[in-house]
Chains A and B, each alone.
Chain A
């Protein structure tokens, strides 16, 4: 999977690149508008992550350029401007998703995976991990080929874990993934605990392994090794 990250902030770019590379993505970076234009014209990417406020150009133009050449490239907009206009324009001209700074790397990672999965029309659209088989479109989960009924939140949680296998996911990132940014209550962490407890219970009851680990009150990790 080849990803192009267009982000002018070098430190942020390198952090994202590192996170994505560890998740077995091949991640190239472009720090400037011109660099980005050159790269999208030369190579083909599965997904392009673009910061629309670049010092030497508007990221929206890159999206327009991309849409002319590579229709099947997924596009995610990053912006610090939490403005509705940019979001609507971006999605109108063909971006698949929109993420606002500051974001969780795990969230970006999950969104990239989701977009690539959605755009992968040809291949089988299922995720297999040891005894677990998931049909994301149908929201079905099988453990040892036996259907396991999960609630919507439990399913989202499982998908988020699977997108970020073997990574520590902070409570904040899980809360924001499940309920969006407006939930800023300490209570929501108790909440994650309840959902994780239920998810673990259901998976173990159906003969699955206990994958989810608590990491010192910081968050959780879906351990596959």
Chain B
């Protein structure tokens, strides 16, 4: 729901509400006014009739005079004094139907001590018609006014929110990894000017921090890789020595292996921070099936050596828009994971459809909770030789592209399903990455 729709709906709601209340009050006021007038007429007529009864012997044909139903009955006995006005229905002979009337009934005793009853009925049809017409006109007026109000509100809001929408559009296109500062248009509205100013300041600071971080990462990698290079190369020279004993060689070997691990670790962390910094922003249409086939070819020898059967089942190719380097890392990490945690004579089933793919592999049961699977440095006890960053990197890539990844164990298979086109429930499957 956008702002305009929201405010229009509010307008309509409150207009109708206020009209309903106003309408009821107005109706009652009109009705009261009309009734009061009718009652006045009835009372005046009654007074005239009473005068007639008091001061003359004959009663005229009131029906002729006042053009409505008047009945006067005179007795010889006095009558108690009593008068009231009410709404009622009487039978209209000319139309042979019941018609609504306002009726005054008055019982009294004349000066000559004669009791009389006067009943004056005034048809209400005309009055009711008039009230209906007035209300009808009012409804029309209201509808017109409301429509006009909404229209004017729409037009005004639209023009008022133009700078805001422009800012929003600008923000949407803002990419921290590119050197395009927010170019926000000038506006005369104070609040929007403040907003733009704040945003510009914020994005500038973000950009500065980002560059600092990037620089730090690059520096850190450079600074760490260089001593690592020195250690590695010196060790390589050291092992060329002729006079080394087996024990010494074993020691050097341990140091060498640790150094190799450390440099892999460094590269893995560097990759994660690069993905975090969105430094892989170039995307293209990637054919996941092709990459999957290439990856399997790459791991072919290891797969054969571990006597693992790979059963690919590609029903249709999956395409997605992403960075080609990351797509290779993503699939390579998942496949290598399914090989590393596999058992001898195991199996890897790979299915692919247009939505994504699933890698199911045999393997030992998980020694860590499922939800921690995608965290850094979480690894099962059996595979201490791995660095433990593979799935963390996969998770980073998935967060970047909002892919939906799920893991489950079923019938002895570890299944990792990756949907490149997230469905309705997408976004919940990824465990939060601790920072």
Contact B302 A183, beta carbon cutoff 8 Å: yes
Contact A12 B229, beta carbon cutoff 8 Å: yes
Given A82-B267, A104-B236, also A9-B230 (CB < 8 A): yes
A residues 159-197 near B (Cβ < 8 Å) are: 167-168, 170, 172-173, 179, 181-188, 190-191, 194
Contact A168 B226, beta carbon cutoff 8 Å: no
Contact A216 B218, beta carbon cutoff 8 Å: no
- Of all chain B residues, the one with the shortest Cβ separation from A219 is B239
Q: Contacting chain A: which of B125-133, B249-257, B407-415?
A: B249-257
Q: In the assembly, what is the distance between CA of A191 and CA of B386, in Å?
A: 17
Contact of A172 among B222, B233, B250, B260 (CB under 8 A): B260
Q: In the assembly, what is the distance between CA of A84 and CA of B387, in Å?
A: 23
Contact of A22 among B222, B240, B267 (CB under 8 A): B240
Contact A9 B229, beta carbon cutoff 8 Å: yes
Q: Which residues of B contact A186 (CB under 8 A)?
A: 385
- Of all chain A residues, the one with the shortest Cβ separation from B280 is A84
Contact A80 B225, beta carbon cutoff 8 Å: yes
B residues 305-321 near A (Cβ < 8 Å) are: 305-306
Q: In the assembly, what is the distance between CA of A18 and CA of B332, in Å?
A: 37
Contact with B along A1-40 (1 / 0, CB 8 A): 0000000010110011011001000000000000000000
Q: In the assembly, what is the distance between CA of A172 and CA of B232, in Å?
A: 11
Contact A82 B270, beta carbon cutoff 8 Å: yes
Q: Which residues of B contact A22 (CB under 8 A)?
A: 240
For residue B79, CB closer than 8 A to chain A, the reply is no
For residue A105, CB closer than 8 A to chain B, the reply is yes
- Of all chain A residues, the one with the shortest Cβ separation from B246 is A216
B218 to chain A, nearest CB (A): 6
B268 to chain A, nearest CB (A): 9
- Of all chain A residues, the one with the shortest Cβ separation from B236 is A105
Q: In the assembly, what is the distance between CA of A37 and CA of B74, in Å?
A: 138
Given A82-B267, A185-B336, A187-B305, also A105-B233 (CB < 8 A): yes
Contact B239 A184, beta carbon cutoff 8 Å: no
For residue A70, CB closer than 8 A to chain B, the reply is no
Contact B237 A102, beta carbon cutoff 8 Å: no
For residue B340, CB closer than 8 A to chain A, the reply is yes
Per DSSP, are chain A's interface residues mostly helix, strand or loop, or mixed? mixed
Given A15-B237, A172-B257, also A185-B250 (CB < 8 A): no
For residue B373, CB closer than 8 A to chain A, the reply is no
For residue B5, CB closer than 8 A to chain A, the reply is no
For residue B188, CB closer than 8 A to chain A, the reply is no
Q: Which residues of A contact B186 (CB under 8 A)?
A: none
For residue A114, CB closer than 8 A to chain B, the reply is no
For residue A81, CB closer than 8 A to chain B, the reply is yes
Contact of A101 among B229, B239, B240, B306 (CB under 8 A): B229
For residue B21, CB closer than 8 A to chain A, the reply is no
For residue B380, CB closer than 8 A to chain A, the reply is no
Q: Which residues of B contact A194 (CB under 8 A)?
A: 305
Q: How many residues of B contact A (CB 8 A)?
A: 42
Q: In the assembly, what is the distance between CA of A102 and CA of B222, in Å?
A: 10
Contact A102 B240, beta carbon cutoff 8 Å: no
Contact with B along A116-159 (1 / 0, CB 8 A): 00000000000000000000000000000000000001000000
Contact with A along B374-402 (1 / 0, CB 8 A): 00000000000111000000000000000
Q: Which residues of A contact B221 (CB under 8 A)?
A: 80-82
A43 to chain B, nearest CB (A): 25
Contact B339 A185, beta carbon cutoff 8 Å: yes
Q: Which residues of B contact A16 (CB under 8 A)?
A: 233
Given A12-B229, A170-B236, also A184-B249 (CB < 8 A): no
- Of all chain A residues, the one with the shortest Cβ separation from B268 is A184
B229 to chain A, nearest CB (A): 4
A8 to chain B, nearest CB (A): 9
- Of all chain A residues, the one with the shortest Cβ separation from B279 is A83
B residues 222-276 near A (Cβ < 8 Å) are: 222, 225-226, 228-234, 236-237, 239-240, 246, 249-250, 252-253, 256-257, 259-260, 263-264, 267, 270
For residue A206, CB closer than 8 A to chain B, the reply is no
Contact of B302 among A153, A167, A191 (CB under 8 A): A191
B positions within 8 Å CB-CB of A: 218, 221-222, 225-226, 228-234, 236-237, 239-240, 246, 249-250, 252-253, 256-257, 259-260, 263-264, 267, 270, 298, 301-302, 305-306, 325, 332, 336, 339-340, 385-387
A to B CB contacts below 8 Å, 12 in the list: A15-B236, A102-B228, A102-B231, A102-B233, A103-B232, A105-B236, A168-B240, A172-B257, A179-B298, A184-B264, A185-B386, A187-B305
A positions within 8 Å CB-CB of B: 9, 11-12, 15-16, 18-19, 22, 53, 80-84, 101-106, 153, 167-168, 170, 172-173, 179, 181-188, 190-191, 194, 215-219
13 more contacts with CB within 8 A, not counting A102-B259, A103-B232, are A12-B230, A19-B237, A81-B218, A101-B226, A105-B233, A105-B237, A153-B301, A168-B239, A187-B340, A191-B302, A191-B305, A215-B239, A218-B252
Closest 10 CB pairs of A and B: A15-B233, A102-B229, A80-B225, A216-B249, A80-B222, A101-B225, A102-B228, A186-B385, A101-B229, A11-B230
